[in-house]
Amino acid sequence: MCTIMAYCGKSGSTELVSSGLEATISRGPDDQRIIEVADGVLGFQRLSIMGLTPEGMQPFELEGNYIVCNGEIYGFKKLRDELTAKGYSFKSDSDCEILLPMYKEYGTEMFEKLDAEYACVIYDCKLHQFIAARDPIGIRPLYYGKAADGSVIFASEAKNLVKLCKKIMPFPPGHYYKDGKFHCYCDITSVDKVIYDDIDTVCKNIHDKLVAGVEKRLAADAKVGFLLSGGLDSSLVCSIAQRKSDKPIRTFAIGMNTDAIDLKYAKQVADYIGSDHTEVIITKDDVLNALDEVIHLLGTYDITTIRASMGMYLLCKAIHEQTDIRVLLTGEISDELFGYKYTDFAPSAEAFQKESVKRVHELHTYDVLRADRCISVNSLEARVPFGDLDFVKYVMAIDPEMKLNKYNKGKYLLRHAFEGDYLPHDILFREKAAFSDAVGHSMVDYLKEYANNYYSDEEYELRCTNYTHAKPFTKESLLYREIFEKYYPGNSEMIIDFWMPNKEWEGCNVNDPSARVLSNYGESGK
């Protein structure tokens, strides 16, 4: 990960940008550079992943234009060869160095040509404008706000902007900003033509596209590791990666010291694929002591995101402190495409698809946000194979009737696509367990107990009246909101609302986001 920042106005200064960047040194601990341009200031903090030499340091410059980019551009060597043939020369092996030549060739049409997860800001010296853009899913973070004089400021995290902007909002994924407006260049959920192929054809394509998505994310000049929960999604990523590697990959799992559910499954997967596996054990004190820091680094009050981040943050912290790994592959985004436990209750295929569209659009404020912050705060880079653009576009286009749970097993298409020897059968067809629960049911129980003891009933009722947007509805949600407001006062609208099952569906009108409260949880927690 890296941090980018752009103060788009002549009132900007290197001192102001430097003060903003202080909040995210861990995102880019290797180097920092701030430059003034004619109409503002650009800042960059580097975590070296591709093109590790000093020549790969940003901002990049071409004929007076500048760019800062936090991104991974897949297939960049082919693009670089095409640009070299057109007369461009390159000083580094950084994938992001190709972006300014692409901008010169294609203008803002370049964004729809990228197979990438990225956030960038370009300064165009001829237009005297700053142009910002973000990948279609929002895997790489980007926020914006306005300074007191109305100047727009972009930055990787809300933390960069809290001293400079009163109101902070996430940059919409799949958009670019130009001429003071946001322009959509890609709605990743949009379906041009529904896929009605037979199940074997569909599953073969799911298999091939996910394998390609994992393979392209293995390329790095820094060391790569894998988060392994023992659930379906992370296990598939690890299995595919091990098949593509000529030596054991490094896998990491975490669990509570009392009732970790996933550790045994993660070890079973690791033993099966032959990975070099590490377990991290955490306690009640570890969880409660990290709560304030986790909410600060996340910039959210959402219950689901915070619960799931506790284990992920502590695991990534251990990886950072105990290894020289710089890149982590994770299993996020599968659920939004293939379904959660609660989407078993979808009343129709149309309702399933509508819910999937909603969740994919909101990913950048929930699971994708969690993966980015927990990993980047520990000076690591997150890569998400299930977020591969080609893979996501394909799965979104599959006839939603096929994605409904008509097989007595959720996410059946994904499971069927990898039947064979990728994973043990009982892992491949294991029931879904939410990560926050699978770290150990006790972890969530400790958090709820802590919050319930923190407030009296009277205090809870009174303090909830302080909020209108995303009003807390349990003592746990109130505690998280109050910690959030300590660091991001008045900025609750950065997050849409609470991640909860669709309460309009029968069986889903619950007041806790854990799948444990659903009637179909079944064998998930065993």
Give the separation between CA 17 and CA 34, rounded to whole angstroms: 8
350 burial type by CB count under 10 A (0-12 exposed, 13-18 middle, 19+ buried)? exposed
Q: 482: number of CA atoms within 13 Å, CB side?
A: 17
**Amino acid type, 172:** P
- Residues with catalytic roles: 2
Structure tokens that stand for 24 in this block: 């995210």
Q: What is the DSSP string of 116-143?
A: EEEEEEEEETTTTEEEEEE-SS--S--E
Count the neighbouring beta carbons within 10 Å of the beta carbon of residue 434: 22
Cβ-based neighbour number of residue 122 at 10 Å: 26
Structure tokens at 339: 């379904």
Pairing of strands 276-282, 327-329: unpaired
Cis peptide before 248 (omega within 30 of 0): no
Residue ranges in 363-456 assigned as alpha helix (H): 367-376, 389-397, 400-403, 412-417, 425-428, 435-438, 441-454
242 close to 209: Cβ distance less than 8 angstroms = no
CA 100 to chain CA mean position, Å: 25
CB 213 within 8 A of CB 386: yes
Give the tokens for residue 100. Answer: 């300014």
CA distance 316 to 300: 19
The label of the residue with tokens 């992920």 reads 312
